[in-house]
Chain A
Amino acid sequence: MPDLAKQRPKFLNLFAIRLPLAGYASIFHRVSGIGLFLMLPLLIWLFDKSLSTPESYAQFQAVAGHWLIKLILLGLLWSFLHHFCMGIRILLLDIHVGIDKVSAHKSSVAVMAVSLLLTAILGAKLLGIA
């Protein structure tokens, strides 16, 4: 076995690797997860302020209304939605729904499309456009 392992090809040039869409959906799952993790202090702080007192609620509104925070929240909104949709896809794959190549590709397209569409709709609300 160790001999076999040594002969495995190793190709790690990130700029030359062409991932299938499901591969991108998967790496975005990781990126969105770490993004949500890193921004947890901000989210819990906002949650805290939104519930403590009417005065702190006003503070929550002021901070959440700042353009820079809105931009971060927009990123986190996409992160949440992508993580949510991809999570459902993973749960379905776990119970052997859509594991053939064609269905797995279609579901990764669906994850990307639905999460981006919902980000656009909810993000427009967040930014006060719609």
Chain B
Amino acid sequence: MNRIVTGAHYGLKDWLVQRITAIVMALYSLFIGAALLAGVSGYDGWRALMAQGFVRFFTFLFIVSLCWHAWIGVRDIWMDYVKPAGIRLALHSLTAVALVGYAGWAIQVIWRL
């Protein structure tokens, strides 16, 4: 039998991670949207909001969720459209490295507040 090897057992976990990270990001977006609607503006107001302990914690969760969510989504797109193994491996690696870098960059922005 000619089976296509695509790996195993990560499907359900990824499906679940995609939902959990989506919910974290949706709640965070609503929170930040509400804060902006409530009149947070200017450098001082924006910085004071983001520097609060709870908000930093929530922002950290958002950044991790975003990068993990993007990893699953973008990897799936490469798997759907890019067939040559070499190019696919290169794109997967590039995506993973970029996302880890983005996470570090964004986290250090809130860390030094």
Give me the interface of A with B, judged by CB distance under 8 Å.
Answer: 2, 30, 33-34, 36-37, 40-41, 44, 47-48, 50-52, 54, 57, 80, 84, 87-88, 90-91, 94
Cβ-based interface call for B77 (8 A): yes
**Are A47 and B106 in touch, CB under 8 angstroms?**
yes
A17 to chain B, nearest CB (A): 16
- Given contacts A57-B43, A91-B22, 5 further A-B pairs with CB under 8 A are A44-B105, A48-B106, A50-B46, A57-B46, A94-B19
Contact of A91 among B19, B106, B109 (CB under 8 A): B19
**Are A87 and B22 in touch, CB under 8 angstroms?**
yes
User: Please, how many angstroms separate the alpha-carbon atoms of A91 and B29 in the complex?
Assistant: 16
Knowing A33-B73, A40-B102, A44-B105 are in contact, say whether A51-B113 is a contact too (CB < 8 A): yes
Cβ-based interface call for B23 (8 A): yes
Some 30 contacts from A to B, beta carbons below 8 A apart, are A30-B73, A33-B70, A33-B73, A33-B77, A34-B73, A34-B74, A37-B70, A37-B73, A37-B74, A40-B102, A41-B102, A44-B105, A44-B109, A47-B106, A48-B105, A48-B109, A50-B46, A51-B47, A51-B50, A51-B109, A51-B113, A52-B109, A54-B43, A57-B43, A84-B29, A87-B22, A87-B26, A88-B26, A90-B22, A91-B19
Knowing A37-B74, A54-B43, A88-B26 are in contact, say whether A47-B109 is a contact too (CB < 8 A): yes
Give me the interface of B with A, judged by CB distance under 8 Å.
Answer: 1-2, 19, 22-23, 26, 29, 43, 46-47, 50, 70, 73-74, 77, 98, 102, 105-106, 109-110, 113
A59 to chain B, nearest CB (A): 11
User: Please, how many angstroms separate the alpha-carbon atoms of A14 and B2 in the complex?
Assistant: 29
**Are A51 and B46 in touch, CB under 8 angstroms?**
yes
B106: chain A residues within 8 A (beta carbon): 44, 47-48
User: Please, how many angstroms separate the alpha-carbon atoms of A94 and B73 in the complex?
Assistant: 17
A90: chain B residues within 8 A (beta carbon): 22
